[in-house]
Structure 1
């Protein structure tokens, strides 16, 4: 059964974010989101307070507090509209995307930010000089922000559990000459409603394999799919582990994930030899001698395989597909994408992101 995040998981994470010192435990994505929203609240609160101090010299205190909140709210509304519509309406910006951003998701994020800006502004208005209008607006905003707060906090949990090596969305991945059929394969994998879809990513070094795999999995995580990112070497050890969630300090193991990214199976050019063959990989899969649990999990999980080069002479794609069909994966659920080094843009982005992480 694939794992989903429950209410208890959210409360436990919230306690961890609010209690304790991040100086020794690190900063999570959920903690960062909370701090970000507090920043938005403050950017509404502080300017309103300053505006009130200026306006009350010329207006009654209640009018000054309300006008200050309205002015600050209007400013942030104008700013966010420009910030959102600028890239959306720019023809040059739209044409630069191989995969279009999830504009609906971005719009929802923009509205969420505005709610926090406005909440801070009207909270300051109430504290400076109480008005029923400001109180009514704040009450409505408080009710409206409950679902976005739940959604985004939950989404950040889905994003932080997989331990991606860097934060990277699909719209950031760019290669000028990627064929349309490759784009269609990625979309087919993303939009697949069933479990057990497999996507092979072949290509030499600096072709953007890892960044593309992380980008695809990130989009799935944002859709609230449980994901795990791992290198092949780590996964080989995981094959030996018993599936005991209570013993692991994680929300789900690789066997409970709905999408699995297996990176660095083979390095690719300039290293010509394949370190791991399909046959050798299957021998690690079968390390559980008592049952075929590893085969079952691989058969029922959406998997992105990051491999080395593929060419007509070695027929690696066929061999890896044969390995999966041999354990019961349906052939129509096998997708293979061979990336070529069309330019260095994705590879440079991947390198820069690795250095930042």
Structure 2
């Protein structure tokens, strides 16, 4: 699978920077830029105010820098004490990711403070070192801009990290999810996720997909009805009408949600054989099967009826060419503690 191109990055930058927010809304990439500009200002403005009030310039710089250092340490350690991030311990916070995010924010705080310091001082020698030190900000910005780009083009229904998971999950399922996310290179795998309403089917799969997006993998969230509606479209047709930088056919991880929302009595809209029929009758059956064979897919099947159980879904996937060993079932109706 190809990565995001420079042309696509430039197109997104142009869309983020040109146009009024009240007309086009806010994207994740724009939000990241605005956030870091705010960090820069929160370093620059307090340092300048302290200096204007008579605080010695270096003291003002040091005080503001230390304040934001203490604040970010407190902020980054929040998964230890904030319930909304802590989850139930099934999945641990990604401390490497958190540390890098914290350091990036600190660099923008400190850059703001240092910018005022060199504006107000005559320290020309230090200015050269400061300008050279700005170079890492480009690489930090490039990484985080791309990360937000991968996340926003997945079109997740909400933001969720696996470390926030507070539902119940079989130990072997949690272990396999961790194993799958750690794979290098990652092999295509299919997940059949079942469970009753509000059991966390969408949440756990969105968490998996988001972890992959943060690792710069092309992921796509869609519902079954939307996916079925484009099965008969060619790649060219998909590209013309797609709002994302990639189509579902170009994704490395495809999340198909709302196959059977609710219980069988409430809504059992599609069976495994229906999906197979949609693929075979699309006009691109062989191509779709080949794509699915090379793509990781999470099938959020919901509550299966007696005449359409998990076994039927496994058999359907095998019939369209998915190896049996590349299919994993996650049943949220039957679990043990995930700790």
TM-score (norm 2): 0.90
Q: CA deviation at 1:10?
A: 1.2
Q: Secondary structure at the match of 1:100?
A: coil
- 1:169-208 equivalences under 5 Å are 169-175=161-167, 177-192=168-183, 193-208=185-200
| 1:141 match | 133
After superposition, what is the alpha-carbon deviation per residue over 1:67-98, rounded to whole angstroms, capped at 9, x for unaligned? 312221111112212322454599xx868322
Deviation at 1:173, TM superposition (A): 1.4
Name the structure 1 match of 2:314: 321
Deviations 1:187-208 (A, max 9, x none): 2332343342011110000101
In the alignment, which residue of structure 1 is the partner of 2:45? 46
| CA distance in 1 between partners of 2:69 and 2:268 (Å) | 55
Residue 304 in 1 paired to residue 336 in 2? Answer: no
- Aligned with residue 336 of structure 1, among 329, 334, 337: 329
Shift of 1:172: 1.1
The offset of 1:272, in angstroms, is: 5.8
Provide the C-alpha distance between the structure 1 equivalents of 2:31 and 2:334, rounded to a whole number of angstroms. Answer: 35
Q: Is it true that 1:247 corresponds to 2:245 in the alignment? A: no
Separation in 2, partners of 1:95, 1:265: 27
Number of residue pairs matched by the alignment? 331
Give, in whole Å, the separation in 2 of the partners of 1:18 and 1:226: 24
> Structure 1's 76 and 309: CA in aligned 2 closer, same or farther, altered over 3 A?
same
The alignment yields a C-alpha RMSD, in angstroms, of 2.3
Aligned to 2:10: 11
SS in 2 for 1:224: coil
Matched position secondary structure for 1:305: strand
Residue 283 of structure 2: aligned partner: 289
Say whether the 8 Å CA contact 2:260–2:304 is kept in structure 1: no
Structure 2 CA distance for partners of 1:231 and 1:95, relative to 1, 3 Å: closer
TM-score (ref. length: structure 1): 0.86
The 1-side partners of 2:202 and 2:86 are apart by 24
**Contact 2:36–2:105 (8 Å) recurs in 1:** yes
1-structure distance, mates of 2:87, 2:18: 45
Query: In the alignment, which residue of structure 2 is the partner of 1:61?
Result: none
Partner residue in 1 for 2:254 = 260
Q: Which residue does 2:225 correspond to in 1?
A: 233
Distance 1:85 1:206, change over 3 A: closer
SS in 2 for 1:168: coil
- Structure 1 stretch 222-231 or stretch 11-20: which is displaced more? 11-20
Q: Following the alignment from structure 1 to structure 2, what is the Cα–Cα distance between the partners of residues 97 and 38?
A: 34
Alpha-carbon distance in structure 2 between the residues aligned to 1:310 and 1:288? 25
Structure-2 separation of matches of 1:72 and 1:266 = 54
Residue 167 of structure 1, aligned match among 159, 163, 169: 159
SS of match in other structure, 1:167? coil
Runs of 5+ consecutive residues of structure 1 not aligned to the other structure: 57-63, 343-357
Asked if the contact 1:197–1:333 (Cα under 8 Å) also holds between the matched residues in 2, the reply is yes
Instruction: Work out whether residues 268 and 304 of structure 2, in 8 Å CA contact, stay in contact via their aligned partners in 1.
Output: no
Give 1:246 shift: 4.8
Q: Is the 8 A contact 2:264 2:303 kept in 1?
A: no
Deviation for aligned residue 1:229? 0.4
Tell me which residue corresponds to 1:128: 120
SS at match of 1:247: helix
